[in-house]
Amino acid sequence: MTIENNRQLSKNTIMLKTFRIGGIHPPENKLTAGKKIVDLALPKQVIIPLGQHIGAPAQPIVNKGDTVKVGTLIAKAGGFVSANIHSSVSGKVNKIDVAIDASGYRKPAVFIDVIGDDWEDTIDRSDTLVKECNLSSKEIIDKIAAAGVVGMGGAQFPTQVKLLPPPGNKAELVIINGVECEPYLTADHSLMLEKSEEILVGVTILMKAVNVKKAVIGIENNKKDAIAKLTKLAASYPGIEIQPLQMKYPQGGEKQLIDAIIRRQVKSGALPISTGAVVQNVGTCFAIYEAVIKNKPLIERVVTVTGKAVKNASNFRVRIGTQISELIEAAGGVPENTGKIISGGPMMGKALVNTEVPITKGGSGVLLINKNESKRQPMHECIRCAKCVNACPMGLNPTLLMNATEFGNWELAEKNFITDCIECGSCSYTCPAYRPLLDNIRYGKAKVSAIIRARKK
C-alpha cells in the first residue's frame, strides 16, 4: 500500500490537473526545500565526460597541456544528435583518458587541473536581468546548440534537436517542467525561487525559437511559494501561464506532463512533438537564458545533496565535472552506515560505485541512503494483485512483461508495448511481492528494441 502524504494534498487538489493513467505517491522527503543555493568552492580537478547527453559522444578538440578558460569549447558535437562540451573551469588539460561515470563503465573524459577562475571574454558575468531578445528563431537555436545546452531534468537530450521538430510536426505550445516529482530533489524548486525572472525570459526565448504564442509552466502543488512567485511575475510576460498540478509521480515524465496539461496522450512509438507540445525543464530554460542573453555555455548547474542522515543537506551550484566527493564533503561528509549513493532521485537515479564519479549536465541530485534502506527484500512469486498494472503511468502490465522477458518471449513483450515503458519505477515501488519488475523490463526493452531495429534494416 502506498503511503499517501495527506498533509501535502491541499483542499483544491481535486480540482487540480494531473495525468490520467496510473501513478504513485511516494513520500516527498523534500529535506532541502527552501534552502538557498550555495556556490560550491572550486575543486582542484574536474573530470568532464565526453558523453553527457543522448546521442553520439562529443569529439575532444583540446590536447594534454592546453590552457583553457571557463567557457572554452573543449569538445565538438559528434553528430546531429549530440552536444558541444565546454570547460567549466580555467586551468590546464591534464589528460584525456577514461573515467568511471554514472553508467558504471569507463568512458572517455577530459581531466582539467584547476588554476584560478578566468572566464572567456565573450561571457557576460553580470547579474542584470535582460528581457529583450532580438534574435531570429534560427539564431536562437544556433546559440543554444553552440552553448551545449541539453535537457537538465536528467534526460540530457540535446536541446537544439528538440527545437527542430521533424517534418510533419508543428509546435503549438511550450510546456515547462517545473514539477520535480522525484522525492528529495529540490534543485528546480530553488532555481524557480531565486532565478524566477530569468526563467521566464528563457521561456519567452524558447517560445520565439519554436514560433509559438503560448507557454504553460507546470508546477506541483507542494511548491506553493514557487507557484505564487511565478504567477505574479508571469503576469507581465504575455502568453505564459502557470498551472499548479496535483502531486503524483511521475508527473515530470514528458508524456505524463503533456497529458496533464493539454490532455493529449502521445501515441505508442510517436514523438511527444506529435501532440504539438515542446517540453523543457526549468533548469534548461535558465540555461537557455544564460546561453542566449549572457553568451554563457552550460558549465554549471544546481545539485541537491540530500539524505536523511546528511548533516548539511543543501542545494549547491556546482561546476560540471566536479567529483561527487566534493559535494558530499561540503554537505557534511558521508554519514555512517551509508549503503547507497545515488546520482539523481530515488526512483530513477543511478546507484554509484564510488564517489569519484563527476557531476554531469543532467545530474540533479546526490542522495545518500543508509544501509538498512538500501538492501532489497527477497522476492516472492507474483500474486497477480495487479497493483503494478494500476500504478503504471503508461497503462502497461509490468508483471506480464517481466514474465515474457524471463522466458525470452519477445513477441509477447513487443505485443504488450514493452518499448513504451518510461522506466519510472512505479511498478517495482508498489509490488508487494518485491519483484524486480523494472530490472527485467529494462532488459526486455533493450532486447526487443534490438529486434525491431534488426527487422527494419
Partner 1 sequence: MILIAVITLGIIGAIGAVFLYAVSRKFEVYEDPRIGQVQEVLPGANCGGCGYPGCSGFAAACIKADTLDGLLCSVGGDVVMARVATILGKDAAKSEPKVAVVRCNGTCEARPRTNVYDGTHRCSVESALYGGETGCSYGCLGYGDCVEACKFDAIHINPVTMIAEVDEDKCTSCGACVKACPKGIIELRKKGPKSRRIYVSCMNKDKGAIARKACANACIGCGKCLKECQFEAITITSNLSYIDFNKCRMCRKCVAVCPTGAIHELNFPPRKAEPAAAPEAKAAVKVEAQAAPATKSVEAKTVAKTEPAAPVTPAEKPEAVKEAPKAADNNNEIQPK
Partner 2 sequence: MENNLYVSPSPHIHGGDSISKNMYGVLIALIPAFLVSLYFFGLGALIVTCVSVVSCVAFEYLITKYLLKREATISDGSAILTGVLLAFNLPSNLPFWIIIIGALAAIGIGKMSFGGLGRNIFNPALVGRVFLLISFPAQMTTWPVVDALQAFPMTYTDANTGATVLHLIKQGGQHLPDYTSLLIGMKGGSLGEVCALALLLGFIYLLWKKIISWHIPVAIIGTVFIFTGIMYLVNPVTYVNPVYHILSGGLLLGAIFMATDYVTSPMSHAGMIVYGVGIGLLTSLIRLFGSYPEGMSFAILIMNALTPLIDTYIKSKHFGGK
Contact 227, 221 (CB under 8 A): yes
Please identify which residue in 41, 129, 386, 452 interacts with partner 2, judged by CB under 8 A: 386
Residue 386 sits in the site that holds partner 1 (CB under 8 A): no
Q: Which is nearer to partner 2, 200 or 413 (CB)?
A: 413
CB 440 → partner 1: shortest distance, Å? 6
Task: Please pick, from the candidates 13, 94, 137, 265, the single residue that binds partner 2 as defined by CB under 8 A.
Answer: 265
Q: Which of 27, 79, 95, 103 binds partner 1 (CB under 8 A)?
A: 103
Give the contacts of 153 (CB within 8 A, at least 6 positions apart). Answer: 177, 188, 252, 281, 283, 284, 362, 364
Q: Is 26 in the site for partner 2 (CB under 8 A)?
A: yes
Listing DSSP states for 193-204 in one string gives HHSHHHHHHHHH
Site map for partner 1, 106-145, x if CB under 8 A? x---------------------------------------
Q: Evaluate whether 373 touches 339 at the Cβ level (below 8 Å).
A: yes
Neighbours of 215 (CB within 10 A): 25
Q: How far is the CB of 340 from partner 1 (least distance, A)?
A: 9
Q: Tell me the C-alpha distance between 428 and 207, whole Å.
A: 38
Tell me if 453 contacts partner 1 by CB under 8 A: no
* Partner that binds at residue 41, options partner 1, partner 2, none, CB closer than 5 to 8 Å by kind: none
Residue 104 in the binding site for partner 2 (CB under 8 A): yes
Looking at residue 267, the DSSP 8-state letter turns out to be P
Tell me if 137 contacts partner 2 by CB under 8 A.
no
Helices (H), 249-374: 254-262, 282-294, 324-330, 371-374
Which of 203-211, 297-305, 365-373, 448-456 is the region at the interface with partner 2 (rule: CB under 8 A)? 365-373
CA nearest 371: which of 338, 330, 341? 338
Cell of 81: 544528435
Residue bearing cell 538498512: 372
Q: How far apart are CA 233 and CA 228, in angstroms?
A: 9
Nearer to partner 1, 80 or 443 (CB): 443
Out of 51, 57, 365, 425, the residue judged to bind partner 2 by CB under 8 A: 425
Build a one-symbol-per-residue string for 344-363: x at contacts with partner 1 by CB under 8 A, - elsewhere: ------x--xx---------
Binding piece for partner 1, criterion CB under 8 A, among 100-108, 297-305, 311-319, 383-391: 100-108
C-alpha dihedral sign at 58, 84, 119, 328 = negative
- DSSP-based helix, strand, coil % in the chain, nearest 5: 30, 20, 50
Sort residue 22 into left (φ over 0), alpha (ψ -120 to 50) or beta: left
Looking at the DSSP bridge assignments, the partners of residue 365 are: 304
Q: Determine which residue in the list 131, 308, 317, 442 makes contact with partner 1, applying CB under 8 A.
A: 442
- Using CB under 8 A, which of 98, 228, 386, 452 touches partner 1? 98
Interface with partner 2 (CB under 8 A), residue from 395, 410, 419, 451: 395
In terms of residues, how long is the chain?
Answer: 457
Q: Please give the Cα distance from 144 to 296 (Å, whole number).
A: 10
CB of 254 to partner 2, least distance (A): 12
Instruction: Determine, following the binding rule CB under 8 A, whether residue 444 of this chain makes contact with partner 2.
Output: no
Stretch of residues binding partner 1 (CB under 8 A), selected from 43-51, 97-105, 110-118, 182-190: 97-105
Write out the three cell numbers for 283: 533548469
Nearer to partner 2, 67 or 416 (CB): 416
382 binds, among partner 1, partner 2, none (CB under 5 to 8 A by kind): partner 2
Answer yes or no whether residue 385 interacts with partner 2 by CB under 8 A. Answer: yes
439 interacts with partner 2 by CB under 8 A: yes
- The reply to whether 242 sits near partner 2 by the rule CB under 8 A is no
Which residue type does 452 have? Answer: I
* Residue 227 makes contact with partner 1 by CB under 8 A: no
Q: Would residue 162 be called left, alpha or beta, if left means φ above 0 and alpha means ψ between -120 and 50 degrees? A: alpha
Say what angle helices 196-210 and 224-234 make with each other, to 10 degrees: 60
Residue 417 has a CB neighbour count (10 Å cut-off) of 16
Q: How far is CA 103 from the centre of its chain?
A: 15
Which residues lie near partner 2 (CB under 8 A)? Answer: 1-3, 21, 24, 26, 104, 183, 255, 259, 265-268, 270, 338-342, 346-355, 367, 369, 371, 373-377, 380-387, 389-390, 393-397, 399, 416-417, 420, 423, 425, 428-434, 436, 438-439, 442
Which residues lie near partner 1 (CB under 8 A)? Answer: 98, 100, 103-106, 350, 353-354, 374-376, 436, 439-440, 442-443, 446
